Each structure stands twice: as structure tokens, then as C-alpha cells.
Amino acid sequence: MPTTTGLAKITDATFADEVLTSSLPVLVDFTADWCPPCRMVAPVLADLARERAGELKVVSLNVDHNPETTAAYSVLSMPTLMLFRGGEPVRSLVGARSKARLVQDLGLA
């Protein structure tokens, strides 16, 4: 179900289907409603999702409502952005950044 940012929301229950078995690379935004930097990066992620549709899937996971996945990937700070390829995490970034910097830091340039 899309959020107001346009990103698909995932949960502990849907994580495996949406992320681990995806044929596309998946960027997971580990976020929280109370997190100001999360709100800052949300439009950047929505832009990235639109621009890279068909080559990159961008989803959002609320850490407060999904403790199993959050703990499984040792997410302690928000926002944490984790790039998955073939069901495995290949990059992890903490904190908000510009779209250009995000693309560069994730190796998507």
C-alpha cells in the first residue's frame, strides 16, 4: 500500500516476498514517524523510485511497527537505507542525504 510519499509500505509479514525474492534490487527505507531526517529523505526516495521504476524497487518499513525485520538487520538509527540484491543486503547507509549523494553512495550512478 503506497504511503503519502509514494513509497510502498512493507511489514515484517511481507518483507520476504517484497524484498528477499524480488528480481529487482530493492532499497529499503527503515523509517519512523517521529524521525525528522526520515521526513527529509522521503521525497528524495519517492523521486528515486519514480525515476528508476523498472530497475529499482524502493520500499518503506516502519521500525516501530515491524520489530522483527528491524532487529534481524541490526537497524539502530533512522533513517537507515539498505540496498538488497538477490535477497542479500549489499549496502547500508544511515542518515538523510541529497538524491545525487544517495545515488553515488549506493553505487547506482
Burial tier of 26 (Cβ tally within 10 Å: 0-12, 13-18, 19+)? buried
Q: Pick the catalytic residue: 7, 10, 26, 35?
A: 35
Decide if 38 is catalytic. Answer: yes
**Is 28 in the active site?**
no
Using CA atoms, how far apart are residues 90 and 109, in angstroms rounded to an integer?
15
Burial class (CB in 10 A: 0-12, 13-18, 19+), 13: exposed
19, 38, 61, 63: which one is catalytic? 38
Q: What is the DSSP string of 33-69?
A: TT-HHHHHHHHHHHHHHHHTTTT-EEEEEETTT-HHH
Which residue numbers are catalytic? 35, 38
